[in-house]
Amino acid sequence: MTGAECVLRTLAGSGVDACFANPGTSEMHLVSALDRVSEVRPILTLFEGVASGAADGYGRMAGRPAATLLHLGPGLGNAFANLHNAYKARTPVVNVVGDHAVMHRPLGAPLASDIESVARPVSDWLRTTRDARTAATDAAEAVAAAREGAIATLIVPADAGWEDGAGAAAPVASRPRPPVPDEAVEAAARALRSGEPAAILIGGPLVHGAGLRAAARIAAHTGAELLHDTFAPRVERGRGVPTARPLPYLTAVATAALQGLAHLVTAGTHAPVGFFAYPDLPSRLAAPHTAVDVLATPREDGAAALEALADVLGAPPLPERPPAPAPAPPAGALTPETLGLAVAATLPERAIVVDESVTASAAIVPALATAAAHDWLPVTGGSIGFGLPAATGAAVACPDRPVLCLEGDGSAMYTIQSLWTQARENLDVTNVILANRSYAILEFEMQRVGATLGAAANDLFDIARPDLDFVAMAASMGVPGRRVTDAGELAAALRESFAEPGPHLVEAQLG
Q: Which residues ranging from 389 to 418 are in contact with its own copies (CB under 8 A)?
A: 410, 413-414, 416-417
From the list 168-176, 204-212, 238-246, 459-467, the region that binds its own copies by CB under 8 A is: 459-467
Q: Residue 188: helix, strand or coil by DSSP?
A: helix
By rule CB under 8 A, what string of x and - marks binding of each residue 47-76 to its own copies? Answer: x-x----------------------xxxx-
Q: Total number of residues binding its own copies (CB under 8 A)?
A: 104
Binders of its own copies among residues 108 to 147 (CB under 8 A) are 108-111, 113-115, 117-118, 120-122
Quick check: 173 binds its own copies (CB under 8 A)?
Answer: no
Among 311, 445, 486, 496, binds its own copies (CB under 8 A): 445
Q: Partners of 18 in the beta sheet?
A: 41
Please tell me the distance from the alpha carbon of residue 243 to that of residue 221, in angstroms, as a whole number.
Answer: 14
Half-sphere exposure of 152 (CA within 13 A, CB side): 26
Helices (H), 63-201: 72-89, 115-119, 135-147, 158-162, 182-193
Among 207, 384, 394, 505, binds its own copies (CB under 8 A): 384
Half-sphere exposure of 388 (CA within 13 A, CB side): 35
Return all residues near 466 (Cβ < 8 A) that are at least 6 apart. Answer: none
Quick check: 385 binds its own copies (CB under 8 A)?
Answer: yes
* 429 and 392 Cβ atoms separated by less than 8 Å: yes
From the list 57-65, 134-142, 158-166, 308-316, the region that binds its own copies by CB under 8 A is: 158-166
Quick check: 162 binds its own copies (CB under 8 A)?
Answer: yes
Quick check: 253 binds its own copies (CB under 8 A)?
Answer: no
Q: How far is the CB of 384 from its own copies (least distance, A)?
A: 7
Among 331, 333, 451, 499, binds its own copies (CB under 8 A): 451
Q: Which is nearer to its own copies, 88 or 401 (CB)?
A: 88
DSSP 8-state assignment for residue 460:
H
Quick check: 476 binds its own copies (CB under 8 A)?
Answer: yes
Please tell me the distance from the alpha carbon of residue 352 to that of residue 429, in angstroms, as a whole number.
Answer: 9
Q: What is the dihedral of CA 294, 296, 300, 301, to 10 degrees?
A: 170
Quick check: 473 binds its own copies (CB under 8 A)?
Answer: yes
Among 210, 287, 475, 492, binds its own copies (CB under 8 A): 475
From the list 100-108, 190-198, 306-314, 391-399, the region that binds its own copies by CB under 8 A is: 100-108
Half-sphere exposure of 120 (CA within 13 A, CB side): 4
Quick check: 231 binds its own copies (CB under 8 A)?
Answer: yes
Binders of its own copies among residues 256 to 295 (CB under 8 A) are 270, 273-277, 279, 283-284
Return all residues near 69 (Cβ < 8 A) that are at least 6 apart. Answer: 19, 20, 21, 22, 23, 27, 30, 31, 42, 51, 96, 98
